[in-house]
Structure 1
Amino acid sequence: MSLTLDILNTCDAQAFTEALGGIYEHSPWIPMRAAANRPFRSLDGLKLALQAVVASASDDEKLGLIRAHPELAGKAAIAGELTRESTGEQAKAGLNQCSPEEYARLHELNAAYNQRFGFPFILAVKGPEGNGLTRQQIIATFARRLKNRPVDEMAEALRQIGRIAELRLNDLLGATPAFGNAVMAQARALAAHSDDADGLTCAYLTPAHRQTAAQIAQWMREAGMTATIDAVGNVVGRYAADDASAKTLITGSHYDTVRNGGRYDGRAGILIPIAVVGHLNRQGRRLPFHLEVIAFAEEEGVRYRSTFLGSSAVTGGFDSSLLEHVDADGISLRQALQAAGHDPAQIPGIARDPNQVLAFVELHIEQGPVLLEQNLPVGVVTSIAGSSRYMLELAGSAGHAGTTPMDMRRDAAAAAAEIVLAVEKRCSGIAGLVGTVGILQVPNGSVNVVPGACRLSLDIRAAEDEVRKAAVADVLAEIKTICGWRQVEYALEPILEAAASACAPGLMRRFDAAIEKLGLPLLRLPSGAGHDAMKMAELCDMAMLFIRCGNGGVSHNPLETMTGDDADLAARILLDFLLDFHG
Structure 2
Amino acid sequence: MTDSSGVERATLLGLNTASTVDAIGMLDGIYEHSPWVGAQALAVRPFRSLAQLQLAMVDVVQRSGVEAQLALIRAHPELAGKAMVDQSLTAESTHEQSKAGLTHCTPAEFALIQQLNTAYAQKFGFPFVLAVRGPRGTGLSKRTIIETLQRRLRHPVDYERAEALRNIHRIAQLRLNDKFGVQPTLGNACWDGLEALAKWTDAGYEGTGQLTVTYLTDAHRACAQHIAQSMREGGFDEVHIDAVGNVVGRYLSDVEGAKTLLTGSHYDTVRNGGKYDGRLGIYVPLTWVAQLAQAGKRLPYHLEVVAFSEEEGQRYKATFIGSSALVGAFQPAWLDLEDADGISLKAAMQHAGLDPAAIATLRRDPAQYLGYVEVHIEQGPVLYERNLPLGVVTSINGSARFAGAMQGLASHAGTTPMGQRHDAAVAVAELLLFIEKRAAQDGDSVGTVGVLEVPNGSLNVVPGQCLFTIDLRAPNDAQRDALVADVLAELARIAAARGVTYTLEETMRAAAAPSAAPWQAAWARAVSQLGLPVHAMPSGAGHDAMMLHTAMPQAMLFVRGENGGISHNPLESTTSDDMQLAIEAFDALLREVANSSFTAA
State the TM-score, normalizing by the size of structure 1: 0.92
Instruction: Tell whether the 8 Å contact from 1:411 to 1:488 is kept in structure 2 after alignment.
Output: no
Name structure 2 gaps, 5 residues minimum: 3-7, 595-599
**Which SS does the other structure have where 2:306 is aligned?**
strand
Give the match for residue 182 of structure 1. Answer: 189
Q: In structure 2, do the counterparts of structure 1 residues 340 and 415 end up closer, same or farther at CA, with 3 Å as the change threshold?
A: farther
Q: Determine which of 213, 218, 240 is the counterpart of 1:207.
A: 218
The structural deviation recorded for 1:84 is: 0.6
The structural deviation recorded for 1:414 is: 7.2
User: Within 2, Cα distance between the matches of 1:395 and 1:222?
Assistant: 60
Q: In structure 2, do the counterparts of structure 1 residues 358 and 96 end up closer, same or farther at CA, with 3 Å as the change threshold?
A: same
The structural deviation recorded for 1:201 is: 1.9
Once the two structures are overlaid, the 10-residue window that deviates more, 192-201 or 381-390, is 192-201
Matched, 1:559 2:571: yes
Give the match for residue 223 of structure 1. Answer: 234
Matched, 1:106 2:118: no
The structural deviation recorded for 1:441 is: 6.0
Give the match for residue 133 of structure 1. Answer: 140
User: Within 2, Cα distance between the matches of 1:558 and 1:180?
Assistant: 20
Instruction: Tell whether the 8 Å contact from 1:188 to 1:263 is kept in structure 2 after alignment.
Output: yes
Any idea what the Cα deviations from partners look like across 1:39-85, whole Å, max 9, x if unmatched? 21112122112222222223322211111100000111111110011
Amino acid at match of 1:527: S
Give the match for residue 257 of structure 2. Answer: 245
Give the match for residue 44 of structure 2. Answer: 37
Give the match for residue 574 of structure 1. Answer: 586
Q: How does 1:32-181 map to 2 (within 5 A)?
A: 32-181=39-188
User: Within 2, Cα distance between the matches of 1:282 and 1:242?
Assistant: 16
The percentage of aligned residue pairs carrying the same residue is 53
Amino acid at match of 1:218: Q
**Which SS does the other structure have where 1:427 is aligned?**
helix
Matched, 1:16 2:29: no
Q: In structure 2, do the counterparts of structure 1 residues 320 and 392 end up closer, same or farther at CA, with 3 Å as the change threshold?
A: farther
Instruction: Tell whether the 8 Å contact from 1:71 to 1:110 is kept in structure 2 after alignment.
Output: yes
Give the match for residue 289 of structure 2. Answer: 277
Give the match for residue 5 of structure 2. Answer: none
Amino acid at match of 1:323: L
User: Within 2, Cα distance between the matches of 1:419 and 1:328?
Assistant: 34
The structural deviation recorded for 1:429 is: 3.5
Amino acid at match of 1:208: A
Instruction: Tell whether the 8 Å contact from 1:378 to 1:548 is kept in structure 2 after alignment.
Output: yes
Q: In structure 2, do the counterparts of structure 1 residues 91 and 506 end up closer, same or farther at CA, with 3 Å as the change threshold?
A: same
Any idea what the Cα deviations from partners look like across 1:462-517, whole Å, max 9, x if unmatched? 112122123334444566677897777746252x3211111112112222222222
User: Within 2, Cα distance between the matches of 1:486 and 1:233?
Assistant: 52
Q: Determine which of 3, 6, 13 is the counterpart of 2:13.
A: 6
Any idea what the Cα deviations from partners look like across 1:114-147, whole Å, max 9, x if unmatched? 1111111110000011111111111111111111
User: Within 2, Cα distance between the matches of 1:577 and 1:458?
Assistant: 38
Matched, 1:264 2:310: no
Aligned-residue RMSD, C-alpha: 2.8
User: Within 1, Cα distance between the matches of 2:383 and 2:504?
Assistant: 40
Amino acid at match of 1:203: T
Matched, 1:340 2:388: no
Give the match for residue 548 of structure 2. Answer: 536
User: Within 2, Cα distance between the matches of 1:209 and 1:414?
Assistant: 44
Q: Determine which of 516, 525, 529 is the counterpart of 1:517.
A: 529
Q: In structure 2, do the counterparts of structure 1 residues 522 and 492 end up closer, same or farther at CA, with 3 Å as the change threshold?
A: same
Give the match for residue 386 of structure 2. Answer: 374
Instruction: Tell whether the 8 Å contact from 1:415 to 1:488 is kept in structure 2 after alignment.
Output: no
Once the two structures are overlaid, the 10-residue window that deviates more, 505-514 or 404-413, is 404-413
Give the match for residue 597 of structure 2. Answer: none
Name structure 1 gaps, 5 residues minimum: none
Once the two structures are overlaid, the 10-residue window that deviates more, 436-445 or 95-104, is 436-445
Any idea what the Cα deviations from partners look like across 1:24-51, whole Å, max 9, x if unmatched? 1111112222223222111212211222
Give the match for residue 515 of structure 2. Answer: 503
Q: In structure 2, do the counterparts of structure 1 residues 57 and 167 end up closer, same or farther at CA, with 3 Å as the change threshold?
A: same
**Which SS does the other structure have where 2:213 is aligned?**
coil
User: Within 1, Cα distance between the matches of 2:516 and 2:477?
Assistant: 18
Instruction: Tell whether the 8 Å contact from 2:475 to 2:514 is kept in structure 1 after alignment.
Output: no
Q: How many residues align?
A: 581
Instruction: Tell whether the 8 Å contact from 2:414 to 2:460 is kept in structure 1 after alignment.
Output: no
Instruction: Tell whether the 8 Å contact from 1:392 to 1:492 is kept in structure 2 after alignment.
Output: yes
Any idea what the Cα deviations from partners look like across 1:356-391, whole Å, max 9, x if unmatched? 010101111112222222221112111111012344
Instruction: Tell whether the 8 Å contact from 1:483 to 1:490 is kept in structure 2 after alignment.
Output: no
Once the two structures are overlaid, the 10-residue window that deviates more, 9-18 or 358-367, is 9-18
User: Within 1, Cα distance between the matches of 2:351 and 2:488?
Assistant: 40
Any idea what the Cα deviations from partners look like across 1:398-428, whole Å, max 9, x if unmatched? x999999999999987776666556445534
Give the match for residue 321 of structure 2. Answer: 309
Once the two structures are overlaid, the 10-residue window that deviates more, 510-519 or 377-386, is 510-519
The structural deviation recorded for 1:189 is: 2.2
User: Within 2, Cα distance between the matches of 1:566 and 1:300?
Assistant: 25
User: Within 1, Cα distance between the matches of 2:440 and 2:359?
Assistant: 41
User: Within 1, Cα distance between the matches of 2:545 and 2:163?
Assistant: 31
User: Within 2, Cα distance between the matches of 1:577 and 1:216?
Assistant: 24
User: Within 2, Cα distance between the matches of 1:454 and 1:212?
Assistant: 42
Amino acid at match of 1:193: W
The structural deviation recorded for 1:183 is: 1.5
Instruction: Tell whether the 8 Å contact from 1:362 to 1:544 is kept in structure 2 after alignment.
Output: yes
Once the two structures are overlaid, the 10-residue window that deviates more, 554-563 or 266-275, is 554-563
Q: How does 1:473-488 map to 2 (within 5 A)?
A: 473-476=485-488
Amino acid at match of 1:209: H
User: Within 1, Cα distance between the matches of 2:574 and 2:186?
Assistant: 14
User: Within 2, Cα distance between the matches of 1:210 and 1:448?
Assistant: 52
Matched, 1:254 2:261: no
Instruction: Tell whether the 8 Å contact from 1:440 to 1:455 is kept in structure 2 after alignment.
Output: yes
The structural deviation recorded for 1:5 is: 2.1
